[in-house]
Every structure is written in structure tokens, then in C-alpha cells.
Structure 1
Amino acid sequence: MCGCASNETQTVETPATEGRDYLVSGMTCQPCATRVSTAVRAVSGVTDVTVDLTAGRITVAGTASDADVHAAVVGAGYQITNS
């Protein structure tokens, strides 16, 4: 027993973990896709990265901020063309 006198249900907000899409310019081949994916997977809070090379798009799941994902993509040598 936790010691609470209340039986009320409390809501705890957690960050969204659904995938967010980013268009990545310059990602034109499989080694590019691997480089971007590896960089983004290293970001704290990222739980999954899916790369659509044909569309030049990555989908990132987890709680990482857009700024952290953007920084990882730039650090890998590419640019995000939408945010």
C-alpha cells in the first residue's frame, strides 16, 4: 500500500513515441541510408528508425526531440528538408 488516502486515478503524461517523418536531402544510396540510420539510432530516446531510400525519408520512433534527430542527421553529413 502506497499510503495515499485517495483512490483517485492519476494521469501521467508521457512523450509521444509514434513515428515522425523527416525528409533527408543527399541520402541517395544504401551506404547513405545506413550512415543516417546509424547516427539517428545513437540519439538518446530513439527506439526505431526506418529508412525509405526511394522517398529520401526516415521515420523515427521514440521520445528524442526533433532538434536531436536533426543534429544527428547533420552530423552524419546530410540535411533535413522538413521539420
Structure 2
Amino acid sequence: MTSIENEYQVTGMTCGHCEAAVRQEVDQIPGVESIRVSAQAGTLIVNSSTEIDDAQVVAAVEEAGYTAQRVR
């Protein structure tokens, strides 16, 4: 099965703790297979087995205390 990759720009992250908080929230979304977060680059890359609603990802990032917008 092909993995679907979506990238988001995340604002407000400054450290590893920020990355962990975002990872923890996004990991709760059904279908998520892997997550790459970079506070330095301000990016979140989500790989999933099925299409995931962007609103779910944005809401999870907001729950962690940051803002996100889909890039690709």
C-alpha cells in the first residue's frame, strides 16, 4: 500500500519539547503511520495509510499549542 505524505507549516515551535507535543497530538489521529517534526524548519510531515482530513491535523497541532497550515 502506498503511503500518503502531507506537509504542514507549523508556527510557534522552538524546541524539542515543542516537537514532542505536536508529535503526541498528531499521533492520535487514526491512520497516521509516521510523523516528522522540525521546530527549526517549522515543519510537520505526516505519512498516513489513508487520506487524513487537514482539519484533524490542524486541530491536533492547535491542541498542542501551535498553529499549522498545509503546504503540500
Q: TM-score range by the shorter chain?
A: 0.7 to 0.9
Structure 1: which 5+ residue stretches go unaligned? 1-13
**CA radius of gyration, larger in:** 1
Q: Percent identity?
A: 37
Task: Provide the alpha-carbon RMSD of the alignment.
Answer: 1.6
Report which of the two has the higher share of strand. 2
- Higher normalized contact order (CA 8 Å, seq sep 6+, divided by chain length): 2
**Partner residue in 1 for 2:66:** 78
Report the number of matched residues: 68
Q: CA deviation at 1:47?
A: 1.0
TM-score (norm 2): 0.83
Give the AA of the match of 1:61: N
**Partner residue in 1 for 2:4:** 18
TM-score (norm 1): 0.73
Question: 5 Å matches for 1:1-80?
Answer: 17-62=3-48, 63=50, 64-80=52-68
Deviations 1:5-59 (A, max 9, x none): xxxxxxxxx9x73211101101110000000011001111111101122211010
Query: Following TM superposition, where does structure 1 have runs of at least 4 consecutive aligned residues deviating by more than 2 angstroms?
Result: none
Structure 2: which 5+ residue stretches go unaligned? none
Give the AA of the match of 1:43: I
